[in-house]
Chains A and B, each alone.
Chain A
Amino acid sequence: MSLKKGSVAAHVVMGLMAIYFLLPFWWLLVAATKDNQGLFDSASLWFSDFHLIDNLKALFSQDNGVYLTWVRNSAFYAVVSGVGSTVVAALAGYAFAKLRFPGRNALFSLLLGLIMVPATALVLPTYLLMSQANLVDTIWAVILPSLLNPFGVYLLRVYVHDSIPEEMLEAARIDGAGELRVFTSVALPAMKPALVTVLLFGIVASWNNFFLPLVMLSDDQLYPLTVGLRSWYMSAIMGNGGAATFSVIVTGALMAIVPLIAAFLMLQRYWRGGLTIGAVK
């Protein structure tokens, strides 16, 4: 290689950037092994006395073990919203791409027109409507709005349109399959890579969701992790009595991202697939 020098420089730059991106994780990992006093007293980027087990015990017993409830809630909201929105998007995406029905083009244009409406602008009116329907502070207030994923419908429509040839569906119809059968046994298997991507993004979007549950929920037994950890953080900063200590919150933050990072590393192929479909096409 004639470009050895350039390559060394490139690796130095990448090395510095990697430190920037990873240092916060290192700090979190180290901090989660210290007791609250150790957080204040010891050097923050290296281990001192090992208290991770104590911290975990404190984390899971804080406020009668509400942390585990939050984990369960987050998982429940994420799976139900993720699967639900993917099913809805698969049906609609397929219909837009392959089935001729009156109003199809109008409806799809409407979707394209509304895809850029920012979700944050809808949270307040959705809250007010939900409160008229007496659904505020229930799981439905978080799940129902998350079932709508216009971008997922758009992605699946493009995918079905480009990758499932008309002849394939026609052949199944000639063999006597009804429309539902054509969809479930011919189209769905062919849509699998795109479905996985839409599902993953749906699950992650819901797991990360903050604004919607923050506004909709006031019962801390219904909180997802994001809203719950923020409430602990608020109390700790304000110095409220009985509030979770920093060491508990730090451990809670670590526990919340470990499964995410594991899942992310295992499923990277789909992540990148999804980003590429979404942004470059």
Chain B
Amino acid sequence: MTEVQTPPAAAPAAAGPSAAPGTRRSAKVKEAATGWLFALPFTILLIAFLLLPMGYAFKISLYRSTLLEGEVFAFFDNYQQAFSDPLVREGVVRVLIFGLVQTPVMIGIALVAALLIDATTSRFSRFFRLAAFVPYAVPVVIGTLMWGFLYSDSIGPLSGLGIDFVSGDTVLASLGNITTWQWAGYNMIVLYAALQGLPRETYESARIDGASEVQIALRIKTPMISSALILATLFTIMGTLQFFTEPLILQPLNPGAITQHYTPNVYAYNQAFSFQQYNYSAAISFLLGAVVFIGSYIFLFATRKRSALR
């Protein structure tokens, strides 16, 4: 125990500005040592499970494994291959389309829901707030399994509609519905918290001027929470670029539609674990990680609003 080292008698004296310089220096040294000690476990983990894997992924992405010579240094060959690989391009285009459609739909639903619970105070409104948020408490794997059953044409409740939810044409929309169901409530709470932080007087005066509730919601409240909206949009887009769990789980329902290269992450996973192409897989992972990483920072700096990273 470190506290034993402080002589009790010296304590009152150390309070005044007249404390001996030696005591103060040793206190500083002790503070620095404690600081390092406290930060050490985190630093070790940061190195072992973030910096090291990142560096390792980059390193092996520069190599190729060949039958004759084993691992050979190949500069950016894997990256060149990734850029010209039509299967990578297909996955990238798919997640981009997915992000461009699903993100506004989901954020839109979340915004409407947030504005509604902000404007109403009934018991149903409180119940609704919980109902919308519950799907977020369900693990993505289980939420996807549930929807897999709901989409089933033999046991699902939607079978009467006569729609094949996992055909080549519909499966992307079906996946979009799962993520919307799972994440809309989460984003609703985030936006609702932002709405609750607004000064009420602003729209009191608009109300006196005869503005309708809808006008207040769309013209006053929504612009005032634009930074929260931007952040929610950013995190959603970053999530969709990494799309993985939902397509992987629904894959057995229609392997012809949800292919082994359905999204970049699914492709990287299959390259590594179905085909043992670790080097190529590392290149794809690293590229994807870099895009998400750089995209996040450009977005945050470009918006320059009060953001999560002060």
Residues of A near any B CB (own CB < 8 A): 3, 6-7, 10-11, 13-15, 17-18, 20-25, 27-28, 31, 39-40, 44-45, 87-89, 91-92, 94-96, 99-104, 107, 110-112, 114-118, 120-129, 144-145, 147-148, 150, 153, 158, 173-181, 183, 204, 207-208, 210-211, 215, 225-227, 229-230, 233-234, 237-238, 246, 249-250, 253, 256-257, 260-261, 264-265, 268, 271-272, 275-276, 278-281
List residues of B (152-206) whose CB comes within 8 Å of A's CBs. 154-157, 159, 181, 184-186, 189-190, 193-194, 197
Q: How far is the CB of A240 from chain B (nearest CB, A)?
A: 11
Q: Are B45 and A147 in contact (CB under 8 A)?
A: yes
Excluding A21-B185, A92-B39, A215-B273, 4 further A-B contacts by CB distance (< 8 Å) are: A100-B35, A111-B46, A125-B56, A233-B252
Query: In the assembly, what is the distance between CA of A115 and CA of B310, in Å?
Result: 13
Residues of B close to A14: CB separation below 8 A? 113, 116-117, 120, 124-125, 128
* Interchain CB contact (< 8 A) of A280 among B109, B193, B289: B193
Q: How far is the CB of B15 from chain A (nearest CB, A)?
A: 5
Q: Are B41 and A92 in contact (CB under 8 A)?
A: yes
Residues of B close to A111: CB separation below 8 A? 46
Q: Are B45 and A253 in contact (CB under 8 A)?
A: no
Residues of B close to A215: CB separation below 8 A? 269, 273
Q: How far is the CB of B239 from chain A (nearest CB, A)?
A: 9
List residues of B (274-309) whose CB comes within 8 Å of A's CBs. 278, 281-282, 285-286, 288-289, 292-293, 296-297, 308-309
Q: Are A121 and B57 in contact (CB under 8 A)?
A: yes
Query: In the assembly, what is the distance between CA of A27 and CA of B233, in Å?
Result: 30
Q: Are A279 and B273 in contact (CB under 8 A)?
A: no
Residues of A close to B82: CB separation below 8 A? none
Query: In the assembly, what is the distance between CA of A125 and CA of B292, in Å?
Result: 17
Residues of A close to B131: CB separation below 8 A? 18, 21-22
Let me know if B84 is at the binding interface, CB within 8 A: no
Closest B residue, CB atoms, query A74: B139
Q: Which of B3, B140, B278, B296 gathers the greatest number of chain A CB atoms within 10 Å? A: B3
Q: Are B2 and A107 in contact (CB under 8 A)?
A: no
Chain A interface mostly helix, strand, loop or mixed?
Answer: helix
Let me know if B105 is at the binding interface, CB within 8 A: no
Q: Are B141 and A210 in contact (CB under 8 A)?
A: yes
* Interchain CB contact (< 8 A) of A176 among B6, B181, B189, B288: B6
Supposing A177-B3, A279-B193 touch, asked if A122 and B134 sit within 8 A by C-beta, the answer is no
Q: Are A13 and B49 in contact (CB under 8 A)?
A: no
Closest B residue, CB atoms, query A115: B309
* Interchain CB contact (< 8 A) of B60 among A17, A126, A128: A128
Q: Are B142 and A11 in contact (CB under 8 A)?
A: no
The 5 closest A-B pairs by CB, nearest first: A178-B3, A121-B289, A101-B35, A99-B35, A92-B42
Range for the number of chain B residues in contact with chain A: 35 or more
The stretch from B85-93, B95-103, B242-250 touching chain A is B242-250
Residues of B near any A CB (own CB < 8 A): 1-6, 8, 11-12, 14-15, 27-28, 30-36, 38-39, 41-43, 45-46, 48-54, 56-57, 60, 109, 112-113, 116-117, 119-120, 122, 124-125, 127-128, 130-135, 137-143, 145-150, 154-157, 159, 181, 184-186, 189-190, 193-194, 197, 212-214, 228, 231-232, 238, 242, 244-245, 249, 252-253, 265, 268-269, 272-273, 278, 281-282, 285-286, 288-289, 292-293, 296-297, 308-310
- What are 8 inter-chain pairs, A to B, with CB distance below 8 A? A25-B134, A44-B157, A45-B157, A181-B2, A183-B38, A208-B139, A215-B269, A279-B193
Q: How far is the CB of A228 from chain B (nearest CB, A)?
A: 10
Residues of A close to B135: CB separation below 8 A? 21, 24
Query: In the assembly, what is the distance between CA of A139 and CA of B285, in Å?
Result: 24
Query: In the assembly, what is the distance between CA of A263 and CA of B12, in Å?
Result: 48
Query: In the assembly, what is the distance between CA of A123 and CA of B244, in Å?
Result: 12
Residues of A close to B132: CB separation below 8 A? 17-18, 21
Query: In the assembly, what is the distance between CA of A118 and CA of B145, in Å?
Result: 24
Q: Are A121 and B38 in contact (CB under 8 A)?
A: no
Residues of A close to B309: CB separation below 8 A? 112, 115
Q: How far is the CB of A46 from chain B (nearest CB, A)?
A: 10
Query: In the assembly, what is the distance between CA of A24 and CA of B34, in Å?
Result: 51
Residues of A close to B273: CB separation below 8 A? 215
* Interchain CB contact (< 8 A) of A210 among B43, B245, B296: B245
Supposing A10-B119, A174-B14, A175-B11 touch, asked if A24 and B146 sit within 8 A by C-beta, the answer is yes
Q: Are A120 and B244 in contact (CB under 8 A)?
A: yes
Residues of A close to B41: CB separation below 8 A? 87-88, 91-92
Q: Are B38 and A94 in contact (CB under 8 A)?
A: yes
Q: Are A95 and B39 in contact (CB under 8 A)?
A: yes
Query: In the assembly, what is the distance between CA of A264 and CA of B135, in Å?
Result: 11
Q: How far is the CB of A102 from chain B (nearest CB, A)?
A: 6
